[in-house]
Amino acid sequence: MLRSLRSGGALALLAAAAWPALATPPAFAAPPARALPQAAPAVTPAGAPSFPRLLVYGGDLTIVEQIAPVVLTAGRNTVRLDFVRGNADVASLEVVPLDRPGEVKVAALFRRDDLGNATFVELDAAKPGPERLRLRYAARGLAAGVAYAATFDAAKGTLDLVQELEISNGSGESFAQADVRAVFGVVRTVPSTAVLHGRAPDPDPNAPAGLPTPPLAQDLAEHTVVPFGSPLALPDGVTVRRRALERRDLPTTLEWRWDAGAWGGRVWRVAKVANGPGSALGGVTGVTLQPGSLFLVEREAGATERFVRGGSFGPLVPGQELELDLGPTPELSVERTVIDLQRGDLVFGDYNKALVSYSETESVKLVLDNRAAVPRTLTVTERVSTASFELTASSAPANRKDQVTLEWKVELPAATKVELTYTVKKTNLHP
Amino acid sequence: MSPLLRRSHPLLACVAAALFGALAPAALAQAPVRPDGDGFVEVVVPTAPQSVTLRLTSDQPANVATTRTVALTQGRNRLRFDWSRERLDEGSLRFEVAPANATASVVQREKIHRRGGMVYFDVEAASDGPATLTTRYLLGGIGWRVAYTGMLDAAGATLALVGTVEVTNRSGQDLADARIVFDGGELPALSLAQGERREVELFRVEGVPLQRRYRFDPARYGATPAIEIEVENRVGTPLSRPFLPAGRIRLLAPQADGQPGLIGEDVLPATPLNAAAKLYVGHARDLVVERTVVAQGNENERRDRWNKVVAYDQRTKLAFKLRNGGNTPATLLLVERPGAPFEVVGASHAANKSALDTVEVEVVLPPGGTVDASLEWLRRNLW
């Protein structure tokens, strides 16, 4: 990546000096360091940050932003930038004069095949003097991620939530100090070789119109920026993790659910935490939580912590309730039995007397066992194998959530078994 | 070691060297609090923790909590942990620091990949002093299983049940006086080096009531009646455990000579409090069932234009001859699975349609007696 512009010695910035304007690109007969005059001593104007800023996106993309102070002479100046280490994409380099935008203009960025990643910035300055250049380029090898650790306290009925931001530097370049921000969301990018006149491969005659960009999950996605905090040292081959958010004792609402297709047919608990304005999690406006990995444990009575599950977390937007599956509980169980099935309403074709359709009447018994010493409300979800059915009998009021899903909310007294039975008639079935 | 000591008392020198070797790691681990060029002091955290708790679950790695005491200096401290030997999930690492008489905060955590299993925690301490560090992480390689042994009394009415737990350590970490907590039990202090396994008794209870049943279910148990034993884990009974983890159970019963003999094994399912576990331990010797399909035929056939059967009903009639060669009455449950849909149209004894494709008939067999039973069902609208 770009070597330090202030470090002296083997400077990446090899020259910032007058270079006679050439009608044609300069022919480098000798190594550039000797061919070009030595740069004047660089001066960092007041207020310039002394460390680069890294914007780390998903998909192995990092935008590096650096300030390079140079001293220019009047007329054409050439600044040589060497990206000697790291995975910088020099084709994405953007140079912007900061101090005198009206007087200093970037005339061209010049590169040569035999000089690798070296880039010559040709600047036209109306007057001599110091100038800060903002360099921005893309790099690969840095990755950022979010990890959540959630601790559910069963006795208190609260949740502790910790969000940690992690950045990993595998770019090949070390940053002594860097201001790091992670960007979450899908950002559209187009490779620099998307259109390369004269060298582009023959277009596919069947390809759709437009630029041959890679497929994208989302073109216009909102994204959020999470700062890493105070500038950090980020050497190559190092992963750093910092705590970005910490909420203790969040009030939690518990629900008990059962679905034959989830958690191996066992009853599981769901913890819900409000994230609206004024809530303990959301604060004044509600909090946005980026998607990340989850580490969920339950704090037990004996001060031990039981690992519940890993998995993924979020995203969560302000106003959206945080919902976490806490895993199965042995306190409640459901025993499901299909107690009867009968066929009827056979319809035969008028012409060939073949069987055209029929109906099935299915009766199901669910024994809901609450072994806890306190009452519970259990949400039971059942799925019917066809959308053309009607609920002909049910021992408790049912809610048809969608075409094939029925839902009951059943009150279970303490240490009691409750029987839930229902019958559905599936019509217009075909053999 | 002094050369004088080495020359004059070689045995004492050996003992001293051994003692130094044993104590050195702990002493050295705490000692070097050296200033670093990067503006922090590095504290090498002792390898052996002061307390270890492992929370084991049935299908997840062990959740480990360890505590250590280290000396912090005011300002930035870098705590270095070496977990290069352990099968540790670094993504699960959590870290807390509690100084004895000041405040401290964890600034960040760092992993330097070229240094292998080293993990660094940067702690900002308000003042010098000792602090308690708690680290929590998931550790692979800790295996555990529960086994039960049940001894029936002479009458076969109650059970003496012993539960044991076996813990295996292949985590790469030596455990010293570790507290092991798992669903349904706890071991307060277990020492287990890497590569070792230890079996410990969990509980021993006498007089657990049990129910014995006989099931004739050809589709599940074959052509002879199976023995089903039900054990209840209920409050108010001798077996009143918060949770019985799943595990192999071996049932023994006194033989004619008074010595215990194996009557069968099964897997006891995970059984919470106030639930029952059913065990299938073998087949009855004294009960004989002769099952005969007396009749099976199609009726009510409906045909299409080309005289091909497109729907029909099927009637099946079974006859059973049941013998009890024992000297005690026995209740035998006949289980048949006609398939769905079906309806019972006749039975010599009360028939119960227990599921959409299953019917059960309960028959009481007197000692040394023979009973005839029959069952008839009709399956409508087949094709």
Please state the separation of Cα A352 from the chain's center in Å. Answer: 60
Closest CA to A128 of A69, A77, A68: A77
Spatial neighbors of A291 by CB under 8 A, at least 6 apart, are A146, A184, A312, A313, A314, A315
| pLDDT of residue A48 exceeding 60 | no
Question: What is the C-alpha separation between B289 and B321, in angstroms, rounded?
Answer: 6
Contact A418, A408 (CB under 8 A): no
Choose from A174, A230, A305 for mutation: most chain B CBs within 10 A: A305
* Region of poorest pLDDT, from A45-54, A354-363, B16-25, B124-133: B16-25
Q: What is the SS3 string spanning A20-33?
A: CCCCCCCCCCCCHH
Structure token digits, residue A353: 């007397």
What pLDDT is recorded for position A88?
83
CA distance B285 to B129: 74
Euclidean distance between the first and the last CA atom of chain B, given in angstroms as a whole number? 94
Residues 6+ apart with CB under 8 A from B335: B215, B216, B217, B219, B220, B358, B359, B360
Q: What is the mean pLDDT of residues A224-246?
A: 86
Give the separation between CA A64 and CA A51, rounded to whole angstroms: 11
Q: pLDDT at position A206, please?
A: 66
Tokens linked to A203: 């277009």
Please check the confidence at residue A167 and state whether its pLDDT lies above 80. Answer: yes
Cα dist. A125→A97, A107, A110 in Å?
A: 10, 10, 17
Contact check, Cβ <8 Å, B110/A240: yes
Q: How does residue A117 score in pLDDT terms, banded at 50, 70 and 90?
A: confident
Name A76's bridge partners: A124
DSSP state for residue B383 in the 8-state scheme: -
The mean pLDDT of chain A is: 81
φ and ψ of A325, to 5 deg = -75, 125
Report the candidate in B151, B332, B164, B287 with the shortest Cα–Cα distance to residue B231. B151
Phi/psi at B29 (nearest 5 deg)? -65, -40
Of A246, A252, A309, nearest in space to A275 by CA:
A252
Going by C-alpha positions, the residue among A306, A235, A246, A312 that lies closest to residue B120 is A235
Task: Report pLDDT digits (tens) over B207-233.
Answer: 999 998 999 999 999 999 999 999 999
Q: Which residues are paired to B81 by β-bridges?
A: B119
- Strand A332-348 and strand A355-370: the pairing is antiparallel
> What is the per-residue pLDDT for A7?
34
Which of B92, B107, B353 is opposite residue A295, by nearest beta carbon? B92
Q: What's the maximum distance between 2 C-alpha atoms anywhere in chain A?
A: 100
For residue A205, pLDDT beyond 90: no
- Of B106, B109, B100, which Cα lies nearest the Cα of B81? B109
Q: How far is CA B292 from CA A39, A373, B214, in A?
A: 106, 50, 19
Spell out the residues 6+ positions from residue B311 whose beta carbon is closer than 8 angstroms to its own: A346, A355, B301, B302, B381, B382, B383
A305-332 tens-digit pLDDT: 999 999 998 788 888 999 999 999 989 9
Of the pLDDT bands very low, low, confident and very high (cuts 50, 70, 90), residue A423 is very high
pLDDT above 50: residue A21: no
Residues of CATH 2.60.40 domain(s) within chain B?
A: 32-139, 287-382
Chain A hits for B305, Cβ within 8 Å: 351-354
The Cα–Cα gap between A97 and A67 comes to: 10
A195 touches chain B (CB under 8 A): no
Report the helix count and the strand count for chain B, using DSSP H and E: 3, 27
CA B41, CA B76: separation in Å to the nearest integer? Answer: 7
CATH number belonging to the domain at A332-429, selected among 1.10.3470, 3.40.1710, 1.10.287, 2.60.40: 2.60.40
Of residues B377 and A37, the one with the higher pLDDT is B377
User: Could you tell me how many CB contacts below 8 A there are between chain A and chain B?
Assistant: 121
Contact of A41 with A17, CB cutoff 8 Å? no
Name the DSSP class of A201: P
Phi–psi pair at A248, nearest 5 degrees: -110, 150
Please give the span between the terminal C-alpha atoms of chain A, in angstroms, as a whole number: 68
Tens place of pLDDT per residue across chain B (383 aa): 444 444 445 444 444 444 444 444 443 344 444 444 455 667 777 767 899 999 998 888 999 999 998 888 888 888 888 877 788 888 888 988 988 877 888 888 888 887 776 788 888 888 888 899 999 999 999 999 999 999 999 888 899 999 999 999 999 889 999 999 998 889 999 999 999 999 999 999 999 999 989 999 999 999 999 999 999 999 899 999 989 999 999 999 998 888 889 989 999 999 998 899 999 989 988 999 999 999 999 999 999 888 889 999 999 999 999 999 988 899 999 999 999 999 999 999 999 999 999 999 999 999 999 999 999 999 999 99
Q: What is the pLDDT of residues B266-288, one digit of tens each?
A: 999 999 988 999 999 899 889 99
Euclidean distance between CA atoms B283 and B285, whole angstroms:
6
d(CA B303, CA B292): 31
- CA dist B366 and B330 (Å) reads 7
Q: What per-residue confidence (pLDDT) applies to A271?
A: 95
Best of A232, A306, A417 to mutate (most B CBs within 10 Å, chain B): A306
3-state secondary structure of B20: helix
Q: What is the pLDDT of residues A252-274, one digit of tens each?
A: 999 999 999 999 899 999 999 99
The alpha-carbon gap from B285 to the nearest alpha carbon of chain A, in Å, equals 32
Domain coordinates in residue numbering, chain A: 16-52+65-139, 248-328, 332-429
Q: Which CATH number, 3.30.420, 1.10.3470, 2.60.40, 2.40.300, labels domain B32-139?
A: 2.60.40
pLDDT of residue B6: 45
Q: Which residues between 294 and 353 in chain A have a beta carbon less than 8 angstroms from any beta carbon of chain B?
A: 295, 297, 300, 302, 304-307, 309-310, 330-331, 333, 337-344, 346, 348-349, 351-353
Q: In angstroms, what is the C-alpha Rg of chain A?
A: 33
Q: How far apart are CA A194 and CA B82, in angstroms?
A: 47
- The bridge status of strand A53-57 relative to strand A175-184 is parallel
CB contact under 8 A, B304 and A354: yes
b/e A343-368 (16+ beta carbons within 10 angstroms → b): beebebeeeebbbeebbbbbbbbbeb
Which residue from B minimizes the CA distance to A370? B274
Q: Strand B185-192 vs strand A158-169: parallel, antiparallel, or unpaired?
A: unpaired
Dmax (CA) for chain B in angstroms is 116
Token digits of residue B79: 């705590």
Q: Does residue B9 sit at the A interface (CB-CB below 8 Å)?
A: no
What pLDDT score was predicted for residue B26? 42
For residues A158 and A415, what is the distance between their CA atoms, to the nearest angstrom?
A: 24
Q: How far is A81 from A121, CA to CA, in rounded Å?
A: 8
Question: Which residues on chain A are in Cβ contact (under 8 Å) with B233?
Answer: none
* Bridge partners of residue B358, in order along the sequence: B355
**Which residue among B60, B108, B357 places its CB closest to the CB of A307?**
B60
Residue B112 touches chain A, beta carbons under 8 Å: yes
CATH topology of domain B287-382: Immunoglobulin-like (2.60.40)
Interface test with B, best of A236, A293, A307 (most B CBs within 10 A): A307
Nearest-CA distance B5 → chain A (Å): 48
- Per DSSP, the three-state class of B377 is strand
Q: What is this model's ipTM?
A: 0.77
B321: left (phi over 0), alpha (psi -120 to 50) or beta: beta
Cβ–Cβ below 8 Å for A241 and B108: yes
Residues contacting A386, CB < 8 A, separation 6+:
A404, A426, A429
Of all residues in chain A, the percent with pLDDT exceeding 90 is: 43
Tens-digit pLDDT profile for residues B297-323 = 999 999 988 888 999 999 999 999 999
The closest alpha carbon to A148, from A320, A316, A303, belongs to A316
Most A CBs within 10 Å: which of B38, B56, B94, as the mutation test of the A interface?
Answer: B94
Among A382, A383, A392, A405, smallest CA distance to A359 is for A392
